[in-house]
Structure 1
Amino acid sequence: MSNIPPTPSGLRGAVDLSSLVDRAQRPAQQQTPGAGPTGAAVPGTEGGAALTVPSLVIDVTDASFQDVLELSTVVPVIVDIWAEWCGPCKQLSPVLEQLTAEYDGRLVLAKVDADTNPQLVQAFQAQSIPTVAAVIGGRPLGLFVGALPEAQVRDVFEQVLQAAEQNGVTGRVAVDGAAAPDETAEQGEPEPEPLPPHHQAAYDAIEQGDYATAIQEYRTAIAQDPHDQMAVAGLAQVSLLDRLAGRTADEIRAAAGNGPDDVAAQLAVADLDISGGHVEDAFGRLLDLVPTVFGEDREALRVRLVEYFELIGAEDPRVVAARRRLANALY
């Protein structure tokens, strides 16, 4: 991706979902607008809302993903690959759910638990989480990795809808059994659980692009509770965004290529790899350097790797292997 941090202009190409499809899908360009996967028209999807779904936010599994492929011929489906232990996921998921509700049936959000759905994790090439993708007309499209501010996520949604329109996917769905407008007004939306004060302040700062303030808020939260893993992961995420802000991928990679022994340059390109989801590349680059340097340079590599471990998640097998290799190199 050319932009840093990942933005809609860095939409990645299609990935292979063939292992999850039970039958061949017709190419999107051969389908008619509002057509289902077999080419049958879906009633009311051209400007109407006759197609109903249980919810605009659905949980899907390896076994049920066929339903997502079929639904994606009516509306684009956003895929959120997350895990319960993932701090950035807990920041991003409410944003995705809120925006999905705002688009009022023009798209659907499918949530995939990375811990229990290995086929989907592999199919979407989710090297770190959260990973967000889309499925349009049965075809997947990678979107971004990591927790982005609401404004950037909204921009991604807009581009997904534009891509869907170009592929003839312009339907709309309604929630089955949704309350009438006056009944909904009376009941009101359930209030989301508020974030802890310093987490909220950090999130607000990220929305403003003020990464320095967000970093300070997370550090304060950690000082008050060293076991606040959500703050630790949030600090790692926003620190990554702060380091990459204002630099292009080309200049970062050029500096790393010209200075293979330049620790600062290699740290920067490792950040770039992490931001693009290339976790093993980032780990390998820094772990290869650790035995060759000493003093402050070695400590800088150790600190950055530990930060990545927090960002990716301690239970990730790549983190487990990298942590073991780091320990062997240091001791």
Structure 2
Amino acid sequence: MPEPMAARGRVTILDVAAAAGVSRQTVTRAMNDMAEIAPATRERVLQVARELRYRPSRFGRDLVSGRRRTIALVVHSLINPYYPELASAVVGAAARCGWNVVLADSRHASSPKQLLADLGEQADVVVGYLGAIPPDHRGDLLPLVVIDGDAGSGHAVVRFDAAAAMADLAGHLAGAGVRHPVMAVPGSGNARAREFAAAMARHQVPVRVLTYPEHGAGADGDPTRSGGEDLDGGISVAAALVREIQSGAAATDAVLGFNDLTACGLLKGFRRAGVAVPDQVRVAGIDGLSLGTVVSPELTTLALDLDEVAEHAVDLAIEIFDGRTGPGETEGTARQVSHRLLVRESA
């Protein structure tokens, strides 16, 4: 078998055909799981492709054409302004490297497996919030970069670290005299709640957790028109807390939202009830969205630098595509972005 092509330039379909002793058409059939090819031949071609770190060229793009490559960005919901802000940052980072971006909203996919299959026809690398990755996914053929992922997932990840910022927020709230904090989370949002509770515990202040439905609905009952279930979730948590405060059932002097959208819902709910923020209840969020600067009072938040997130994600994607990180080497390949506390008017 010829030497790996990484040292001699990008591997082409002709390299794979020569190494496997087959025609270019046979390589195309094997890579696309087409008929008219013997199973043993298909497996031999795929094995050679893996060893040479070859990845097929989507849309029939030729390496010598100079055309731009494509990243597929997967987000959870374009209703949440976090994802459009992230998408803008990824598009900018990719454009600076000569790459295109296609966007997919995972809410509209029939399954994670089908989503990846569809994106495999459109992109060279998939980046984003990928949820349940099919266990049989062939990362050597369609590489993945998971945003806000687990470094032990077996895929390249961009990790978020909120520990230092959460500790700063806990110190800020404790220093301001907060003794009855609450965290508002969706049903699956307990990891952030545990981080907040641990940070406040270092100040001997317990945290109470209130949950809201992950899939809220708008006034007409349609969840796709709710304006974001986290906004509605924040409003509902604020209403519950107001009822507790008015009845004397429980005291609350600060609330941390699961994200900035939840926190904006909290601000809206408290304003409706005539509860002054921050005089009666302090409110903070997580994400650092520009939305937090146009609400009143302006939102205190644990902010992410989304440009930094995008730069890391795109850099990892290109690194994998170029063969600098090969098959089986992406596990443990991680970049980390830390939150930072931005103290504004709400807390």
Q: Same fold (TM over 0.5)?
A: no
> 1 or 2 for the larger relative contact order (CA 8 Å, sep ≥6)?
1
Larger Rg: 2
More strand by share: 2
